[in-house]
Structure 1
Amino acid sequence: MNRIWLVLGVLILTLGACVPNRKLVYLQKEDLKKRKETPRDTILRSHAMQIQEYRIQPLDNLNIQFQSLTGEDYDFFSKAMPRAAGGTSLSSSALAGIIVDANGHIEYPVVGKIKVSGLTVFQAQDSIKKIASEFLRDVVVRVRLLNFRYTVLGEVNSESTIVSGNTRLTMMEAIGLAGGLTELADRSYVKVVRQSGSESKIFYVDLLKEDYIESPFYYVQQNDVIIVPPLRQRPFKKYFASNLALITATISTILFIVNLSTR
């Protein structure tokens, strides 16, 4: 009889530590319950996404390239780009960027300051091109953000701060670049700390629900901190194997004492 209770106790503890698929699979819509009935190779649903283009902020690092038919001697825009010792261009490096000042401006000789804060990368290109066209012939302007970064912490396979050249990253892509989530990550309660001017805004997202695709928080923003908490099963799963012998011995001792006291 004692052995039966011991086996039942261990079985209950083991089952309580299991993590079901509904806590692991991203963007669910009850499809897990209808796998056999779900048609293949066809569109089941569509979602209207709230795409948010990144807008340049103060202290962003921009790489701005100019191409025109104007000779280099008269192209003061390109000359304003940082260069390494000996005249070697740093255009492929973060050092080649122009820092947006605290008021949201970049500055060039002759034309002075240009407001770029609050603009998307493409709007900034058009704005700078319009000004540069007054001085350069058939000019083409390309703007790229060099310091789009975010941090992922918690139950991920690689905690890190990631710098991406893509300013339209979804939360899924951002986590994927950090190695993905561990099996014991709570995908339904992911915390995000987002900087907005002089404020830090806190919100939570649920990666398990398919409707999250339509959320305005589906895309990562500059300097986001993504914190993934563990499931409640984590402490048990993590330490169960090493403590199984201790648990078994404790249960056996309790049953032995109970057995003696009933005699």
Structure 2
Amino acid sequence: MRLISKNSLILMFCALIIVFVSSCGSRKNLVYFQSDSTQINTIYEQYVPKIQPNDILTIVVSAADPKVTAPFNPISLITNGSLTQQTDLALRPTYTVNNEGDIILPMLGKIQVAGLTRLNAIEKIRSELSQYIKDPTVNINFNNFRISVLGEVAKPGTFIMPTERVTVLEALGMAGDLTIRGVRENVMLIREIDGKKTMHRMDLTQQSTLNSPYYYLAQNDVVYVEPNKSQINNSKLGANTNVIISIASLLITVISVLTR
């Protein structure tokens, strides 16, 4: 039997290292928005999220005379021990958009808001209020604008956003960014449109993604980052780690005996 020399083992080990290094991700697979000839013309106004059924909206009405807005801003009773006192400050009232796309406001009754942007809804409610209040001001905020980021990110989870103007990059930033094992060329966005789930893919290594209609997120969007092949192979490897370690130990023992 021909014995394997130590020099041969060293060469084999070096070859394995070279193969491993060459299989690592390249700059092309890791760097965001690489330079190309794309003209960036992202306009947020084209992709403003619309109000949807089951959205929860905070709506506050104000005017020069606070007394005239009282009927439109329900005041809550605050209980402190055995005392119940009415606060002078109206707690921010919330309204849930029903399945028909309506909210029911004090005095105004049912108002259709689904399909409107936040600013459109403000103007519509202001118009309705004008018959009761001179120069009313309306403030509307989403109370449940949440997005989820899953997959190969540092901190996957669901996040409540303080504003509806949020990009996919901001969402990934809140999740701690992609890990080195995340596929940047094929990030998936899951969005519900008219009650149906839709899936869209984005390549974060291309500048053209900045012009994507899905660059700005909508409420309840889910961003999923899939693992690369290396991570998938590692997960398969993990399931058989004990067997592989045993085989490797046996091979090392045999080689040691043969090379003495």
Q: Fold conserved (TM > 0.5)?
A: yes
Question: Measured at CA, do residues 194 and 69 of structure 1 come closer, stay the same or move farther in structure 2, by a change above 3 Å?
Answer: same
Shift of 1:191: 1.6
- Tell me what 2:118 maps to: 121
- Tell me what 2:16 maps to: 10
Measured in 2, the distance between the counterparts of 1:134 and 1:184 equals 59
Matched, 1:201 2:198: yes
- Tell me what 1:22 maps to: 28
- Tell me what 1:56 maps to: 51
Measured in 2, the distance between the counterparts of 1:146 and 1:213 equals 27
Shift of 1:254: 8.1
Q: Which amino acid aligns with 2:32?
A: Y
Query: Between Structure 1 and Structure 2, how many residues are aligned?
Result: 241
Measured in 1, the distance between the counterparts of 2:195 and 2:8 equals 63
Matched, 1:172 2:169: yes
Measured in 1, the distance between the counterparts of 2:199 and 2:231 equals 24
Q: Which amino acid aligns with 1:103?
A: E
Structure 2: gaps of 5 or more residues: 1-6
Measured in 1, the distance between the counterparts of 2:105 and 2:11 equals 80
Root-mean-square deviation (CA, aligned residues, Å) is 3.2
DSSP 3-state at the match of 2:184: coil
Contact 1:27 1:210 (8 Å CA) reproduced: yes
- Tell me what 1:34 maps to: none
Shift of 1:21: 1.9
Contact 2:152 2:181 (8 Å CA) reproduced: yes
Measured in 2, the distance between the counterparts of 1:158 and 1:106 equals 35
Q: Which amino acid aligns with 1:75?
A: A
Deviations along 1:171-203, one digit per CA (max 9) or x if unpaired, are 111110111111111111112211113211112
Matched, 1:102 2:99: yes
Shift of 1:249: 5.0
- Tell me what 2:213 maps to: 216
Measured in 2, the distance between the counterparts of 1:196 and 1:124 equals 19
Contact 2:72 2:107 (8 Å CA) reproduced: no
Question: Measured at CA, do residues 60 and 228 of structure 1 come closer, stay the same or move farther in structure 2, by a change above 3 Å?
Answer: same
* Worse-matched range after superposition: 82-91 or 224-233: 82-91
Q: Which residues in structure 2 correspond to 1:18-97 (within 5 Å)?
A: 18-29=24-35, 46-51=39-44, 52-72=47-67, 75-79=70-74, 84-85=78-79, 86=84, 87-88=86-87, 91=91, 96-97=93-94
Structure 1: gaps of 5 or more residues: 31-43
Shift of 1:70: 4.0
Contact 1:75 1:136 (8 Å CA) reproduced: no
Matching residue within 207, 231, 237 for 1:234 = 231
- Tell me what 2:3 maps to: none
Contact 2:151 2:224 (8 Å CA) reproduced: yes
Question: Measured at CA, do residues 189 and 90 of structure 1 come closer, stay the same or move farther in structure 2, by a change above 3 Å?
Answer: farther
Shift of 1:12: 3.2
Measured in 2, the distance between the counterparts of 1:167 and 1:218 equals 13
Contact 2:62 2:69 (8 Å CA) reproduced: no
Question: Measured at CA, do residues 221 and 139 of structure 1 come closer, stay the same or move farther in structure 2, by a change above 3 Å?
Answer: same
Question: Measured at CA, do residues 11 and 216 of structure 1 come closer, stay the same or move farther in structure 2, by a change above 3 Å?
Answer: same
Q: Which amino acid aligns with 2:41?
A: A
- Tell me what 1:136 maps to: 133
DSSP 3-state at the match of 1:118: coil
Question: Measured at CA, do residues 76 and 10 of structure 1 come closer, stay the same or move farther in structure 2, by a change above 3 Å?
Answer: same
Measured in 1, the distance between the counterparts of 2:90 and 2:247 equals 62
